[in-house]
Amino acid sequence: MKTELLIVDKNVDNLDIYPQITQAATFLKENEVVAFPTETVYGLGGNAKSDEAVLKIFEAKGRPSDNPLIIHISKKEQLNEFVKEIPATASILMEKFWPGPLTIIFQKKDGVLSDVATAGLETVAVRMPEHPLALALIDAAGLPIAAPSANRSGRPSPTTAMHVWEDLNGRVSAVVDGGPTGIGVESTVLDCTAEIPQILRPGGVTKEQIEAVIGEVKVDPALTNVQAAPKSPGMKYTHYAPDAPLFLVKGSRDFIQQLIAEKRHEGLKVGVLTTEENSDYYEADVVQVCGQRAQLETVATALYDSLRSFNKTDVDIIYGEMFRNDGVGHAIMNRLLKAAGHKIVEEL
């Protein structure tokens, strides 16, 4: 399959002048799949009403088809077509955080969306992205768009079109290049069908921000207990992993450097994932900086690119620093734990 690279400047106000958007929308109408930028990561979109299109998403990603997808819309009115009801809590959240990096789970209407897209569940996860190209593309297609991250399953999510190209060239019809994404980690997924809303995946909107608007929210036990069964899109299988094994380290810089030195003495090439504050401290074969510890938003933005960067090196093992587990740090640690397969080395 030939993959078209469609470059669009997201900062231009009048997106109607871009035939690339029309071309990408035509692919979607024809049940082909297209990668496009959102404010979180690049998504791999297909017609959410079509089994054919959704199966092409799973095939391109190499993703198990029992994993539900998030449905992307460009107007709130689109919900009425495939959602049974909009709870009052969801309405408040939509007013505050849409468009933006918050996915809300609703009870779905039968017979509208592809059952493959929702993995046969009675619920559907929906968000309205805050990215002009994503909104323009959904508008032009006139369809709800099912879209997981636009990467091969298991690899770090893509935050640039080049990441997508590396993973999916020849597997999708087009990649819409709108430059690097901003937030860098996926949307927060919140189940509003429960009596007390529950976070199923931490992301670009924090628990603290949500609670400031609607009060108490719960957190899915699967986020802290690896034995529990996750209910959120994208959280059932191992994700985000670089090629070399990643170990997170709970301990001091001295302890991390000790681990590095031991492995190098064994003849292994060692990488370390760190922040600007500590980057000059470590003596490793590859020192990869993923933002500033004092500003965790910069870590979220750079995280996936940093993990992917190790794949361009010949390191045998990677040690990664850990971060506080609140605010956006909750999302960062969730992704790092998944990337490491929950392997943690703890200083005694």
Indicate the angle between helix axes 328-339 and 296-309, nearest 10 degrees: 20
pLDDT, one tens digit per residue, over 287-298 is 999 999 999 999
Let me know whether 254 and 147 are in one domain: no
Asked if residue 83 is part of any domain, the answer here is yes
Which range, 51-65, 226-240, 308-322, has the best average confidence (pLDDT)? 308-322
In a domain, 315, yes or no: yes
CB 123 within 8 A of CB 193: yes
Residues 169 and 44 reside in one and the same domain: yes
- In the annotated binding site for L-threonine, the residues are 40, 72, 127, 147, 187
Using only C-alpha atoms, the chain has a radius of gyration, in whole angstroms, of: 20
SS3 state of residue 102: strand
3-state secondary structure at position 201 = strand
Domain membership of residue 210 (yes or no) is: no
Q: The tokens of 201 are what?
A: 């995946």
Domain identity same for 334 and 251: yes
Q: How confident is the model at residue 14 (pLDDT cuts 50, 70, 90)?
A: confident
Q: How far, in Å, are 75, 76, 131, 175 from residue 13 at the CA level?
A: 18, 21, 12, 21
* Cis amide linkage into residue 242, ω under 30° from 0: no
Q: What is the CATH number of the domain that holds 62?
A: 3.90.870.10
- Count of structural domains, the chain: 2
Q: Which of 144, 165, 184 is the last residue of a domain?
A: 184
Beta strand ranges found along 119-205 (DSSP E): 123-127, 145-146, 174-177, 188-191, 198-201
Query: How many angstroms separate the CA atoms of 335 and 127, rounded?
Result: 20
Kindly report whether the global pTM for this prediction surpasses the value 0.85.
yes
Instruction: Extract the annotated binding site.
Output: 40, 63, 67, 72, 123, 127, 147, 149, 157, 187, 201, 240
**Tens of pLDDT along 161-188?**
999 999 999 999 999 999 999 999 999 9
Quick: pLDDT tens for 200-217.
Answer: 999 999 999 999 999 999
Please enumerate, by residue number, every residue annotated as part of a binding site for ATP: 63, 67, 123, 149, 157, 201, 240
Q: Are residues 44 and 130 in the same domain?
A: yes
